[in-house]
Amino acid sequence: MTLPPRVTDRAFARLAEIAEATGDTKALRVAVEGGGCSGFQYDIRLDDPAEDDVIFEKDGMKVLVDSVSLPFLSNAVIDFSEELIGARFVIENPNASSSCGCGISFSM
């Protein structure tokens, strides 16, 4: 069954921290593009909503996924991780058959 991705409370909270620190209330865009070392790569950046976006919203914070990327992110979890190697938004994607050490590139 195809389900939309889920955004964790931790990801929304980090987005709110970024907005508070920068004064910028742009949404977090999560997109899938061709390329990277494994065939596909995630493009995660702050952006404005577009017409074909699916918008996930909590407490005024928004996460955007465009209609082309949506099938690649079915049942995925969009999260924020803080580890010794750094803090970043991460995607836990059950559709990815393998991923690269960079955490941005994957194959299906």
The model's pLDDT over 54-96, given as tens digits with 9 standing for 90+, comes to 999 999 999 999 999 999 999 999 999 998 878 899 999 887 7
Tens of pLDDT along 7-50? 999 999 999 999 999 998 899 999 998 876 667 888 999 999 99
Query: What is the rounded CA–CA span in Å between residue 1 and residue 74?
Result: 9
- The closest of 55, 57, 53, 58 to 69, measured between CA atoms, is 53
Answer yes or no: are the C-beta atoms of 40 and 107 closer than 8 Å: yes
Query: What is the rounded CA–CA span in Å between residue 107 and residue 37?
Result: 9
Q: At 27, which CATH number?
A: 2.60.300.12
Compute the CA torsion angle 96, 55, 69, 3 (nearest 10 deg).
50
Query: Is 55 within the bounds of a domain?
Result: yes
Query: Is 92 within the bounds of a domain?
Result: yes
- The closest of 2, 8, 1, 20 to 77, measured between CA atoms, is 8
Query: Is 38 within the bounds of a domain?
Result: yes
Look up the pTM and report it.
0.85
Query: Is 1 within the bounds of a domain?
Result: no
Instruction: Render 2-51 in DSSP notation, one character per residue.
Output: ----EE-HHHHHHHHHHHHHH---PEEEEEEEE-STTSEEEEEEEE---T
Query: Is 84 within the bounds of a domain?
Result: yes
Range of the domain at 42: 6-107
Which residues, at least 6 apart from 73, have a Cβ–Cβ distance to it below 8 Å?
Answer: 4, 5, 30, 32, 65, 91, 93, 95
Query: Is 17 within the bounds of a domain?
Result: yes
Counted domains in the chain: 1
